[in-house]
A and B are shown apart, each in its own frame.
Chain A
Amino acid sequence: MKKGLKITLTLTLIAVLSGAILAEVYKVTVEDIKANQKKEIEEAVFSVLPGAKEYKRETRGSREFFKCFDDKAELRGIAFVAEGIGYQDIIKVVVGVDSGLSKITGIRVIAHNETPGLGAKISEGWFEEQFKGLSAAVRLDLVKGEPDKKNQIQAITGATISSQALVDIINKEIEDIKKHKVGNCD
């Protein structure tokens, strides 16, 4: 009986101490953690919409998006998170379009789990750069080698599936964002 009491007491004591210490540590760090998460979204949103200085999170139906304004509080465009399956896992990408939903202003892959050295190149600058300035009115096409027509994206060598997946995700989600009539159309 005495032994049982000692065991219970020890475990309870450790658990309570652990809980108390963690609560304190959490209190100290939670502000920084939240600030980091906010900064990550902010950086991605501002990088896909050049000139944006301020953003407002809005939702329409199930669709969430960010309205972006420049320093004169004028609407610069819309940024949104697009998501879909890549070669083996989910790819998340922030896409920026201008306020008339006619042009892609930039993309930034924020999360993926593609093969390192191959598919993982979708998050490299040169690949993302290709999307800048392309029309959002027609679908994007993926080609192997140098693009020779408008709205074509050059696939990553050895990673056609990952490249295609990203292009598909962006095509599909731009359609979706148009359906929700965000931006200046409303």
Chain B
Amino acid sequence: MTKTPVILKDFAKGLWQENPVFRLLIGMCPTLAVTSQAQNGLAMGLATSFTLIASSTIVSIFRKLIPKEVRIPSYILIIATFVTIVSLYLQAKFPDISKDLGPYIPLIIVNCLILGRQEVFASKNPTHRAAADALGMGLGFTISLVALGMVRELLGSGTIFSFKVLGDGFRPWIIMLTPPGAFLSLGLMLGMINIIDRLLKGKS
């Protein structure tokens, strides 16, 4: 383990050990809200990752110039700027995605995942490590959203990424597409992740 380069470790921890959704339980609002379809989960994951990577890089570059007392307002300003850019870009180039994600795009600003990474990591580490950390966290977040989206879409409409998977004999569990389904499926998935984690730990 000691031989793994630091930067790779920073990247990899976001995928499983410190997966933002399944382990750290942050950024839950978009996780639950947009995952009635895998595609929307992917779009939200990518939008959040972009904002996270951009903000982390900028914050890390200027980490010595930003006074401690106003670091939180400064981070929020930087994040809000990038989120507005994402929002305008989506409205211009991908109006359908923009319409689907709707009010949840501006909420990326207050996603605790992004602000949390600035506070815990980017403001204290050199730029290349901050970028690697952001990339890993963003990817971990995106994978979690897509996974939850796939489960809900499969059970709720019998499709994955809009491709029909389950035959006509399958009666969709409509509840999976509604808010209660979102809470229930995420709760059960957390349980499963815990079991898998315990098995992995038991082996090693």
Could you say which residues of chain B place their CB within 8 Å of the CB of A6? 67
Stretch of A25-33, A45-53, A99-107, A178-186 that contacts chain B: A25-33
**Contact residues on A (Cβ < 8 Å of other chain), bracket:** 20 to 34
- Neighbouring B residues of A130 by C-beta, 8 Å: none
Contacts of B92 in A (CB 8 A): 28-29, 32-33, 36
Q: Enumerate chain B interface residues (CB-CB to A < 8 A).
A: 36, 65-67, 69-70, 73-74, 77-78, 80-81, 84-85, 88-89, 91-93, 95, 156-157, 172, 174, 177-178
The answer to whether A117 touches B177 (Cβ under 8 A) is: yes
> Which residues of chain A in 13-56 are interfacial with respect to chain B, using CB atoms and an 8 Å cutoff?
14-15, 18, 21-22, 25-26, 28-29, 32-33, 36, 40
Task: Supply 10 A–B pairs (Cβ within 8 Å), ascending by A.
Answer: A3-B69, A7-B70, A11-B77, A22-B81, A25-B84, A25-B88, A26-B88, A115-B174, A116-B156, A117-B172
Chain A residues with CB below 8 A from B156, complex form: 116-117
Where the two chains meet, the residues of A that have a C-beta atom closer than 8 Å to any C-beta of B are: 3, 6-7, 10-11, 14-15, 18, 21-22, 25-26, 28-29, 32-33, 36, 40, 115-118
Contact between B70 and A11, CB atoms less than 8 A apart: yes
Q: A10-B65, A116-B156 are in contact. Are A29 and B88 (CB under 8 A)?
A: yes
Are B88 and A33 interface neighbours, CB within 8 A? yes
A3 contacts across to B, CB distance below 8 A: 67, 69
Instruction: State which of B70, B157, B178 has its C-beta within 8 Å of the C-beta of A115.
Output: B178
| Alpha-carbon gap, A6 to B74, bound state (A) | 13
Asked if A21 and B174 sit within 8 Å, CB to CB, the answer is no
Q: Is the CB of A14 within 8 A of B177?
A: no
- What residues of chain A lie closer than 8 Å to B84, measured between beta carbons? 22, 25
Determine the chain B residues whose CB is within 8 A of the CB of A15 once the complex forms: 77
Residues of B with C-beta under 8 A to A40:
95
Q: Say whether, besides A3-B67, A10-B67, A11-B70, A18 and B91 are in contact (CB < 8 Å).
A: no
Given contacts A36-B91, A117-B174, A118-B174, 18 further A-B contacts (CB under 8 A): A10-B66, A10-B67, A10-B74, A11-B70, A14-B78, A18-B77, A18-B80, A21-B81, A25-B89, A26-B88, A29-B89, A29-B92, A32-B92, A32-B93, A33-B88, A33-B91, A116-B156, A116-B177
